[in-house]
Amino acid sequence: MPKLARRDALILSAAALTAPALAQTVTQNVRLIVPFAPGGTVDLLARILAEGITPGLGGRSIVVENRSGAGTFIAMQALVQAPPDGHTLAIAANSVLGTAPILPGAVMTVDVDRALVPVVNLIRVPVLLVAGPHTPFATLAELIAFARAHPGRLNIGHTGMGSMTHLTASRLAHEAGIRMELIQYRGGTPALLDVMSGHCDLYFSLLPESLPFIREGRLRPIAFASAERNPHLPEVPLLQDDLPGFTTDVAYGLVMAAGTPPAWIGFWNRTIAAFMDRPEVKARMEGLLWIQAHGTPEAYRQEIQAIRAAWAPVIRAAGIRAGG
């Protein structure tokens, strides 16, 4: 047998031995609970994971289950009510895991620190402040000047009290010393549609959702909330250029219910990481403008604590509450 053929045969044999060994631990279909309605970034992420990992589960499937509402806590309730046998996972917004426990007025039907176990961070998504083309400003400095000259005239959308869009909008108003009306929407898409139509002035948008409209001239990018400029819009400045220290992004990870055996936590961490490290998966996520962020369960736990440490003084200084 030629040398290359022999090597390929050995690789295939190793894969054949390894895949069943991993798959044998999965004895039934796996539920992957998504805390948002179908469509959008998180739902797409879940379906990419399910589609890519299912073939290695020995005939079992990962079934995506959308459970939206209550600031993602309906999904978290569904997770903790399921048997902690390693066959139920949920995608969680890191902002909820990080800020809900320290946000005055937040209603948590699940204790995120005691009832949930971090498995693996998944992705970060850049956030930028966008304005409608009807607005009379093109930069953050001009926006602040206009808002100070016209107190309360500007409004800014958000997707729910305690959400990252709510926190970031409230932080902007506080640190810029301006007053804006906050308008709640059911999601990013309706908020962006209202910004484009002139019914809303501003919104902190996920880059993948707003970039097509920016390129069409239907949205005006004001500034990124990221720590570094973005290569897709290199000319757009950072919020921290005018408001030092103002950085944030949106991130999502995978959690399981407390009481799940550590072996399952390790299994899913390794399985997800191996999938996300595939070159074709990396290329697809880069095309979606997502930034991979997977690591160990402990690294994910530390990320959540870092979010909490960063936002706690901001929430106190700005007097931000989940109730408004």
Predicted pLDDT at 324: 52
Which residue in the block uniquely carries the two structure tokens 């390790």?
Answer: 266
- Distance between CA atoms of 203 and 198, rounded to whole angstroms? 12
126-183 pLDDT, tens digit per residue, is 999 999 999 999 999 999 999 999 999 999 999 877 888 999 999 999 999 999 999 9
51-82 pLDDT, tens digit per residue, is 999 999 989 999 999 998 887 899 999 999 99
Task: Grade residue 1 by pLDDT with cuts at 50, 70 and 90.
Answer: very low
Predicted pLDDT at 162: 80
Predicted pLDDT at 163: 84
8 Å CB contact between 32 and 46: yes
Task: Grade residue 9 by pLDDT with cuts at 50, 70 and 90.
Answer: very low
Supply the DSSP symbol for 39.
S
Two tokens, residue 236: 């757009």
Q: φ, ψ for residue 211 (rounded to 5)?
A: -55, -45
Cα–Cα distance list, 115 to 34, 80, 272 (Å)? 17, 7, 22
Cα–Cα distance list, 151 to 7, 143, 181, 183, 239 (Å)? 71, 12, 10, 16, 21
- Distance between CA atoms of 126 and 269, rounded to whole angstroms? 24
Please classify residue 242 by burial: count the beta carbons closer than 10 Å to its beta carbon, then call 0-12 exposed, 13-18 middle and 19+ buried: middle
8 Å CB contact between 183 and 155: yes
Which are the contacts of 262, defined by CB distance < 8 A and separation ≥ 6?
none
Supply the DSSP symbol for 238.
B
Which of 159, 156, 164 is CA-nearest to residue 103? 164
92-137 pLDDT, tens digit per residue, is 998 889 999 999 988 889 999 999 999 999 999 999 999 999 999 9
- Distance between CA atoms of 283 and 280, rounded to whole angstroms? 5
- Distance between CA atoms of 311 and 71, rounded to whole angstroms? 18
- Distance between CA atoms of 121 and 291, rounded to whole angstroms? 11
Predicted pLDDT at 257: 98
Task: Grade residue 15 by pLDDT with cuts at 50, 70 and 90.
Answer: very low
Two tokens, residue 228: 């570094």
- Distance between CA atoms of 64 and 43, rounded to whole angstroms? 8
Helix ranges restricted to H, the chain: 3-23, 41-53, 73-81, 94-99, 112-115, 140-149, 164-176, 188-197, 207-215, 262-276, 279-287, 297-318
Kind and range of the H or E element at 237? none
- The answer, yes or no, to whether residue 2 has pLDDT greater than 80, is no
Q: Alpha-carbon torsion 314, 317, 318, 320, what sign?
A: positive
Task: Grade residue 38 by pLDDT with cuts at 50, 70 and 90.
Answer: confident
Which of 51, 204, 182, 240 is CA-nearest to residue 125? 204
Predicted pLDDT at 39: 82
Q: Alpha-carbon torsion 39, 42, 48, 50, what sign?
A: negative
- The answer, yes or no, to whether residue 4 has pLDDT greater than 70, is no
Domains within the chain, CATH numbers bracketed: 28-124+249-315 (3.40.190.150), 127-248 (3.40.190.10)
8 Å CB contact between 233 and 211: yes
189-247 pLDDT, tens digit per residue, is 899 999 999 999 999 999 999 999 999 999 999 999 999 999 999 999 999 999 999 99
